[in-house]
Structure 1
Amino acid sequence: MTVWDRPERPARPAPLDRERIVATAVALADEGGLEAVSLRKVAARLEAGPMRLYGYISTKEELFDLMVDEVNAELLPAEPPRDWREALAGHAHRTRQAALRHEWLADLLGGRPALGPNAMAVNEVLLASLDGLADLATVMRAVETLSAYCTGAIRREIANLRAERATGLSESDWQRARGPYVSRMLATGRFPALARFVHEGVEVDAETVFTTGLEWVLDAVAAKLTPPRP
């Protein structure tokens, strides 16, 4: 039985329900990452005994599932997308923005599919936008490819943000600090392609990097969308 199938117990003696528990867990994770979340810590924030939470949630993994589904509500489009490309691009950008608001989400992207009602609604939008444009196998590969791109790109961006905070160095500061070493290595002539990239490459911001990669992924998906034969 999943956590969504299990009925909630009556809220006694003080008001308590899964909605409050999950909202509290999300707030703790936003403040200190997933390591700041446990049933005991959530109970303490709610000023409730830890055992009371077990009437609603059995494990920390279930709590994480509920937290992910809570954030999935932020991924639903405000208006129905006009076509498949708008649906997939909008989903990718909303996922990135949600991860920037809730950095812990990056740690839970990928892996087994999210099965909560909000996650299912999100997948319904994506699959419906592609319905009839190709056979089912191609549609599934298109959604999986988008998911893989978002997971990798978002995790990389969040990792860089965490590194900045941990070291106190911006990306530019970090590059300058390692400049002498990189220059010595490039001067050996062993890395001509890398040298050209370092000397002639143009830096762009994270959003531009994400959007450019996304457009390439969507172009590749478009090339595979051929309506199935009747």
Structure 2
Amino acid sequence: MYLMDTAYGSAPLPVWERPEPQPRAAPVPLSRAKIAATAIRLADDHGLDGLSVRKIAKALGVGPMRLYDYVANKSELLDLMVDAVYAEIAEADQPAEWRATVLAIVHRTRAAALDHEWFADLLGARPRLGPHALAVGEATAAALSQAPGVRGIDDLQRALSVLSAFLTGALRAEVTERRTARSTGTDVTAWQTSLGPYLTRMLDTGRYPTVARLVVEGAHLDAEETFHHNLTTVLDGITRDPRR
């Protein structure tokens, strides 16, 4: 076991810093990248609840215990999977202008979450610190630091926190709706139609005038339009120069 000294005592080295095990004379060669790619395919098909070391090993054609030479536990496996998705987000060229960079990164993050719905379940809470996640974080922070209203490290921290909260909430809501549509066989339009008569009766009581305005007069945008509109609104707010 590779250990490092911390303020709280010895702890295992992160999976990113541990060397790969020496190659074995075995029919199936393994690597952390191969294990992560297989786990991602299984999670894409069956979700995180359907993911286990035994299932990954079976898909790879090896014994389950062999995987523990590469990852110590499921938490490390999830770290590898998440960072592989961040590699997809980080691989594209970044625009030169700060706002275009942030918009591009956030839209690529949404695209990745829709390709790998389980990814949205793992956003939020403590940050992911794999090399590709750090690269995306660096590109985002560097771009935001150039915004007119971000005048110091405190402003930058707040801007990143708000952007992260928006992104996590928006992606989880969109992924939840997709899952609900699949599990019920009813998309949001059909659901709204089925409840239309009831909602009309409730709004006709006059007790919910603001909700009625939202339903009748509000714009009904698709998911991508809604995401982009809300993203730009958030970005306008957190980067507005208060001196203007």
CA distance in 2, matches of 1:145, 1:108: 17
Which of the residues 63, 74, 79 maps onto 1:65?
79
CA distance in 2, matches of 1:152, 1:7: 36
Are 2:20 and 1:3 equivalent residues in the alignment? no
Which of the residues 15, 28, 37 maps onto 1:23?
37
Determine if contact 1:92/1:146 at 8 Å carries over to the other structure: no
CA distance in 2, matches of 1:60, 1:188: 53
CA distance in 1, matches of 2:39, 2:241: 41
What are the Cα deviations for residues 55-84 of structure 1, in whole angstroms up to 9, with x where unaligned? Answer: 000111111111000000111152232122
Q: Where do 5+ consecutive residues of structure 2 fail to align?
A: 1-12
Task: Report the alpha carbon displacement of residue 87 of structure 1 after superposing the two structures with TM.
Answer: 1.6
Map residues 1-230 of structure 1 onto 2, 5 A cutoff: 1-12=13-24, 13=26, 14-76=28-90, 78-131=92-145, 134-224=151-241
CA distance in 2, matches of 1:87, 1:149: 17
Task: Report the alpha carbon displacement of residue 128 of structure 1 after superposing the two structures with TM.
Answer: 2.1
TM-score, normalization: structure 2?
0.88
Aligned to 2:4: none
Task: Report the alpha carbon displacement of residue 169 of structure 1 after superposing the two structures with TM.
Answer: 0.8
Question: Residue type of the partner of 1:3?
Answer: V
TM-score, normalization: structure 1?
0.93
Task: Report the alpha carbon displacement of residue 158 of structure 1 after superposing the two structures with TM.
Answer: 0.7
Q: Where do 5+ consecutive residues of structure 1 fail to align?
A: none
Going from structure 1 to structure 2, the CA distance change for 1:185 and 1:130 (only over 3 Å counts) comes to closer
CA distance in 2, matches of 1:54, 1:126: 34
Task: Report the alpha carbon displacement of residue 4 of structure 1 after superposing the two structures with TM.
Answer: 1.1
CA distance in 1, matches of 2:145, 2:91: 18
Question: Residue type of the partner of 2:23?
Answer: A
Question: Residue type of the partner of 2:105?
Answer: H
Determine if contact 1:99/1:106 at 8 Å carries over to the other structure: yes
Which consecutive segments of 4 or more residues in structure 1 shift more than 4 A? none
Greater relative contact order, per chain length (Cα 8 Å cut-off, separation 6+): 1
Higher deviation after alignment, 76-85 or 17-26: 76-85
CA distance in 2, matches of 1:203, 1:131: 34
CA distance in 2, matches of 1:194, 1:215: 24
Determine if contact 1:73/1:118 at 8 Å carries over to the other structure: yes
Identity of aligned residues (%): 49
CA distance in 2, matches of 1:225, 1:92: 24
Question: Residue type of the partner of 2:187?
Answer: S
Determine if contact 1:25/1:67 at 8 Å carries over to the other structure: yes
